[in-house]
Amino acid sequence: MNAKKYAAEAIGTFWLTFAGCGSAVIAAAFPQVGIGLVGVSLAFGLSVVTTAYAIGHVSGCHLNPAVTVGLAAGGRFPSGQVVPYIVAQVIGAVAASALLYVIASGATGFDVTKGFASNGYGAHSPGQYSLVACFLMEVVMTMMFLFIIMGATHGKAPAGFAPLAIGLALVMIHLVSIPVTNTSVNPARSTGPALFVGGWAIGQLWLFWVAPLLGGVLGGGLYRWLSEEPAGTVEGRTPA
């Protein structure tokens, strides 16, 4: 039933946002035992792997508006379900960010204006990268993410391994792009934290919708053109 699919997407996106952004906000620079950039990258990737095995058979485990749009562009997902999936994903991400805010604000000295795992460009890019550089990074990374998702879930791909390939791809994406944009490739994940930071984070949020959605369409369309059987998928496995 569609209601269960939407609920699964909300829950899955909640876990991705809470685990991934939570690792950045709470654990990345924790004194002496901080997990750093590599740890945050692994947290995002592992959140996808674990959730894909849990709900891939229910909703396909998109967890990401760019993935939903990209799969539709690639002929793998019905266009009529795109908007409900995106709404469910954003709800999950906002709920996760709200919970993370409550927990993080329990620490002395917490300051949400320091970023709260938000994505940004220019002065708000971790490495002070320009708008153009950040836009290109998000488009290319999301394009390749969709390309990998489409290939890993193809009917001729090894069954059962798609979540691992997709999760590892997300780890690699974060390892490369955290210094540039703090890594979005997911408009829902970007929206949740931005609502709590406000100001500049909301003002720059447009890029982290436009670039990932464009990248998703390019990646889905590219694999659809490349593949001999673009509609073939591993049964129950279209996670991201």
Domain ranges in the chain are 2-226
Residues 223, 73: Cα–Cα separation, whole Å: 10
Give the CATH number of domain 2-226. Answer: 1.20.1080.10
Dist CA 14 CA 158 (whole Å): 28
Virtual torsion, Cα 55, 188, 234, 43, nearest 10 deg: -70
Rounded (5°) CA angle 96-45-3: 50
Predicted TM-score (pTM) of this structure: 0.92
Per-residue confidence (pLDDT) for residue 28, from 0 to 100: 85
Position 85 scores a pLDDT of 98
Tens-place pLDDT, residues 97-128: 999 999 999 998 899 988 899 999 999 999 99
